[in-house]
Amino acid sequence: MEQFSVLCWIYILILTLFTIHIDTSRPPIRTNKLVSYSIPDKRLLKQALGFNEDIYLNFTELTTKYKFPTEVHSVTTEDGYVLNIFRILSKCSDRTNSYPVFMMHGLFDTSDMWIIPSTDLGLGYVLATNCYDVWAANGRGNNYSRRHIRLDPNKDPTYWEYSFDETGRYDLPAIIDYILQKTGYPKLFFVGHSQGTTEYFVMGSLRPEYNNKVFLAVQLGPVAWMKYLNNRIAVLLAQNYEVIKDFLESAGYREVFPRQGIVHHIAEFLCQKVPALCELGFTLSTGHKQGTMTLKTISIAIGHLFSGTSIKNLSHFAQLVNSGKFQRYDEGIKGNLQRYGLAKPREYNVSLISSPIVLFSAENDRLSSLKDVDILISKLPNLKENYIVPRPYWSHHNHIWDIAATELVHPKILKYFDNFKNLN
């Protein structure tokens, strides 16, 4: 244990040395100058410390390692954000009937979530093996999609003026149009997790014409209403989000938890050396029951989490918690009048979501409570099923990283896809 402690402090010291360029002399006032607190990705150091290489390999490196042919595509949104999408080609020799599947990740995550920790458990691999044409997207602001036709994410605060409202209104429609144009299909399948589901509900409400471009939407751990959020830490942060937001922005921050941030590196190191500690973090944040995901899975997952998002995005989620409504971003009375023509933001009208939807819910999910899911269910006009995974311990990330997902989640998704293919 003493040897580990020394190693830990050496690692943290090395990482800290890369951050001393930050200007600490700035006065504590709101500034338009962004602070950079990213750290170079030191693979050689990680290799020397014995990291599992799947922790730090990127999407195409992982798919190459596991022999899944992959393409890299770029999509530009209406408001100028440039997004990276990874296409995993069907493993079947005859690809003429490989239906496209658009996969959208959750908060702090990337497309990597669909291909870790293994070819058996990664849903992206499973779908490609079953002859589907997989398109794993990345929303604006994460480490794969930090580009804009005019704005520099490291210099321009305006780049970070977005929440899931913009990703739902602009990112998802642009990606859908691109996939359909490339594949020639009139529709596609959609799979979302966590924030990925939120963005879909936004798109279906604000741009209902896109409902006609989806065969079926599978929503894992759906998040819309957060009135009954069962997470004390998240509720406390939400109640104080304005103070936190003002403090961070006055210090020059607009992005939180970037992939190369010190928080990511320390979490990555601790999860490699003490994975049980990281499992406790999952328990506190999502309701995860210890022992239901392997420690190897958790250590790899943490290596790909903390991939960056905007402070405004987190603030929008905080507003959902505080208001108990699924509504657009509250800019204040003056800002709301300018943006919406109303003193208060409108709620998203999910009754406009006409595309077929299947929800995958969980009894022990602290981020997507069954009570909140029930509110969503009462308003969706074309819900095919709310499948509550029949395990009392099941939580937010068990949908994607629990080994039992190969029996409880994947077959059900494949069956639904097959059924809807036959209908079209």
Catalytic residues: 194, 365, 396
Give the separation between CA 106 and CA 118, rounded to whole angstroms.
Answer: 19
Ranges of beta strands (E only) in 339-410 are: 357-361, 383-388
Burial string for 263-290 (b: 16+ CB within 10 Å, else e) reads ebbbbbbbbbbebeebbeebeebbbbbe
Neighbouring C-beta atoms of residue 164, cutoff 10 Å = 27
∠ CA 243-244-245 to the nearest 5 degrees?
A: 90
Tokens of 283: 């328990």
Q: Are 118 and 129 in contact (CB under 8 A)?
A: no
Cα first-last separation, the chain: 60
Tokens standing for 300?
């790899």
3-state secondary structure of 388: strand
User: Which positions ≥6 away from 17 have C-beta within 8 Å?
Assistant: none
- Using a 10 angstrom Cβ sphere, with 0-12 exposed, 13-18 middle and 19 or more buried, the burial of residue 236 is exposed
Backbone angles phi, psi at 185, to 5 degrees: -80, 150
State both tokens at 150. Answer: 């005019």
| Preceding peptide of 117 cis, ω within 30° | yes
For residue 84, the SS3 value is strand
Task: Return the number of other C-beta atoms located less than 10 Å from residue 4's C-beta.
Answer: 10
